Structure 1
Amino acid sequence: MNDTLVAFAVLAWLAYLASRLLARHHLPELVAFLIVGALLGPSGPVPFIQLIDEPSLNALRPVTEVALAVLMFVIGERVSVRALRAARWTLTTGVIQFALSAIAVFWVTSRLGADRPVALILGALAGAGAPMTIAHIVSSVRARGSYPTGIVGTHAVSDALATTTFAAVLPIALLLSDEAADVGGAILNFVQLGIGGAVLGLILGWFISRLGFQIETSGELLLFVLVHIVIAWTIAGFVEISLPLAALVAGATAATVSPQAFSVSLFRTIKTIEQPLYLMFFALAGASIHLSDVPKVGLVGVAYIVVRVAAKIVGGLVGGLTGGLGWRRSFGLGVNLTPQAGVAVGLAVIASESLSDVGSDAGVEAATVVLGAVVLFELIGPLLVARDLRGWSSEEDPNGAVPEEFELPARVLVAAPVPVDLPEWLIDQAARWRSSLVVLMPGERDDPHTAKIGERCGSRDVDFEFRSLRSESFTGAVVRSRSQHQADLVVLFAPRPPAGASRLVLLPAERIARQLPVPVLTFPLNQSDAESESADPGSGRVPRPRRLPWQNPGRSE
Structure 2
Amino acid sequence: MTLPDTLSWLPVEPSFAAASLVMLGVILSTSILADVVASRTRLPRISLLVLVGVGVAVIQQWGLSQPDARPLDGVAEPLIQVALVMVAFLLGGELTLDRLRSTGSLILIVSLSVILAGVLSVGLGLLALGFPLAVAVSLAAISVATDPAAVSETIHESGDSRLRARLLLGIVAIDDGWGILAFGLAMALLGWWLSGDGGMALLHATWELGGAILLGAAIGLPAAWLTGRLRPGEPTQVEAIALILLLAGSSAWLGVSSLLAAMLAGALVANLSSHHTRSFNEIEHIEWPFLVFFFVLSGASIDLYHLDEALGLTLAYILLRLAGRYLGGMLGVRLARERQAELPGNLGLALTPQAGVAMGMALLAAERFPEHGPVLLSAVVASTVVFEVLGPLLVRRVLG
Give the TM interval when normalised to the shorter protein.
Answer: 0.7 to 0.9
2:300 aligns with one of 287, 294, 308: 287
Contact 2:144/2:175, CA 8 A, preserved across alignment: yes
1:99 and 2:99 correspond: no
Change (3 A) 1:77 1:47: same
Contact 2:123/2:137, CA 8 A, preserved across alignment: yes
2:74 counterpart SS class: helix
Give the letter aligned to residue 179 of structure 2. Answer: D
Give the letter aligned to residue 101 of structure 1. Answer: G
Query: Which residue is 1:79 aligned to?
Result: 95
Q: Write out aligned runs for 1:235-246 (5 A).
A: 235-246=250-261
Query: Which residue is 2:348 aligned to?
Result: 334
Give the letter aligned to residue 236 of structure 1. Answer: S
1:164 and 2:184 correspond: yes
Change (3 A) 1:268 1:121: closer
1:207 aligns with one of 208, 222, 236: 222
Contact 1:166/1:347, CA 8 A, preserved across alignment: no
TM-score (norm 1): 0.59
Change (3 A) 1:73 1:329: farther
The alpha-carbon deviation at position 3 of structure 1 amounts to 0.1
Q: RMSD in angstroms over aligned alpha carbons?
A: 3.5
Change (3 A) 1:71 1:126: closer
Contact 2:34/2:48, CA 8 A, preserved across alignment: yes
1:41 aligns with one of 57, 75, 91: 57
Q: Identity, % of aligned pairs?
A: 26
Change (3 A) 1:213 1:75: same
Query: Which residue is 1:2 aligned to?
Result: 18
The alpha-carbon deviation at position 283 of structure 1 amounts to 2.1
Query: Which residue is 1:270 aligned to?
Result: 283
User: 1:281-319: per-residue Cα shift (whole Å, max 9, x none)?
Assistant: 222222223455443135555333322221122223333
User: 1:386-444: per-residue Cα shift (whole Å, max 9, x none)?
Assistant: 4466899xxxx99xxxxxxxxxxxxxxxxxxxxxxxxxxxxxxxxxxxxxxxxxxxxxx
CA distance in 2 between partners of 1:135 and 1:199 (Å) = 30
1:258 and 2:277 correspond: no
Query: Which residue is 1:370 aligned to?
Result: 376
2:194 counterpart SS class: helix
Identify unmatched segments of 5+ residues in structure 2: 1-16
TM-score (norm 2): 0.79
Change (3 A) 1:67 1:139: farther
2:177 counterpart SS class: helix
Q: Say which structure is richer in strand.
A: 1
Change (3 A) 1:96 1:247: same
Give the letter aligned to residue 206 of structure 2. Answer: V
CA distance in 1 between partners of 2:80 and 2:203 (Å) = 27
Change (3 A) 1:49 1:115: closer
Q: Say which structure is richer in helix.
A: 2
2:44 aligns with one of 7, 21, 28: 28
The alpha-carbon deviation at position 10 of structure 1 amounts to 0.9
CA distance in 1 between partners of 2:386 and 2:343 (Å) = 20
Give the letter aligned to residue 294 of structure 2. Answer: F
Identify unmatched segments of 5+ residues in structure 1: 176-180, 399-557
Q: Which has the higher contact order (CA 8 A, sep 6+)?
A: 2
The alpha-carbon deviation at position 276 of structure 1 amounts to 2.5
The alpha-carbon deviation at position 273 of structure 1 amounts to 2.4
CA distance in 2 between partners of 1:325 and 1:69 (Å) = 37
Query: Which residue is 1:113 aligned to?
Result: 130
Q: Write out aligned runs for 1:291-330 (5 A).
A: 291-297=304-310, 299=312, 301-319=314-332, 322=335
CA distance in 2 between partners of 1:212 and 1:314 (Å) = 43
User: 1:240-297: per-residue Cα shift (whole Å, max 9, x none)?
Assistant: 11112221222222222233xx234443333222333332322222222345544313
Equivalent pairs, count: 375
Change (3 A) 1:35 1:205: same
Contact 1:90/1:151, CA 8 A, preserved across alignment: yes
Contact 2:216/2:263, CA 8 A, preserved across alignment: yes
Q: Which structure has the bigger radius of gyration?
A: 1
1:186 aligns with one of 201, 205, 208: 201
